[in-house]
Amino acid sequence: MTDPDLVLRWLHVIGACVLLGTGAGIAFFMLMAHRNGDPRIIAHTAGIVVLADLLFTSTAVIVQPVTGALLALRIGWPLSEGWIVLSLVLYVLTGLFWLPVVWVQIRLRNFARTAEEKGTQLPRDYYRLFRFWFVCGIPAFLAVLTILWLMIARPEISVF
């Protein structure tokens, strides 16, 4: 493997680690803040979560398909390989869950900030949106885990 291939592979693995690690970290910290129930803690945590998602997750979301496609082309794997196609389908599925989750995190943060400023309890809409956020995270996280497995195992899958 030449140096550019090694750099591409390294960037691709780093991107995968960032997606998995940031996703797991965000989920953990949001859940812990939510369980606490204190609007001040939720507002602070959600603010950091939104920033982390925008900085780290967004960057990895862009890097992953670019480095993956370049790697496949350099190594000689056709993009029509079953495991690559399935990985891409799962990647899109993950994105379909992630995009609304980012919007929901911003709303959760704003609900908590308002409750903190007014000295009130979190509104019912906060809890409804938190359940939606939680439910969306499960298939997205499982899809990312599956993509990582596909990248490592590269199983023979007939798609076409």
Q: Please report, in angstroms and rounded to a whole number, the separation of the first and last CA atoms in the chain.
A: 30
User: Tell me, what's the pLDDT at 3?
Assistant: 86
Amino acid code (one letter) for 112:
A
User: Tell me, what's the pLDDT at 27?
Assistant: 95
Question: Which range (4-13, 118-127, 143-152) has the least confidence?
Answer: 4-13
- How far is residue 41's CA from residue 37's CA, in Å, rounded to a whole number? 8
Instruction: Categorize the per-residue pLDDT at 83 as very low, low, confident or very high, splitting at 50, 70 and 90.
Output: very high
Would you give the distance in Å from CA 152 to the centre of its chain? 19
What residues contact residue 29 under an 8 Å CB cut-off, 6+ apart?
45, 48, 49
For 103-137, the pLDDT digits (tens) are 999 999 999 999 999 999 999 999 999 999 999 99
Q: Burial code of 81-92, b = ≥16 C-beta within 10 A, e = fewer?
A: bebbbbbbebbe
For 85-101, the pLDDT digits (tens) are 999 999 999 999 999 99
What is the share, in percent, of the chain residues with pLDDT greater than 70?
98
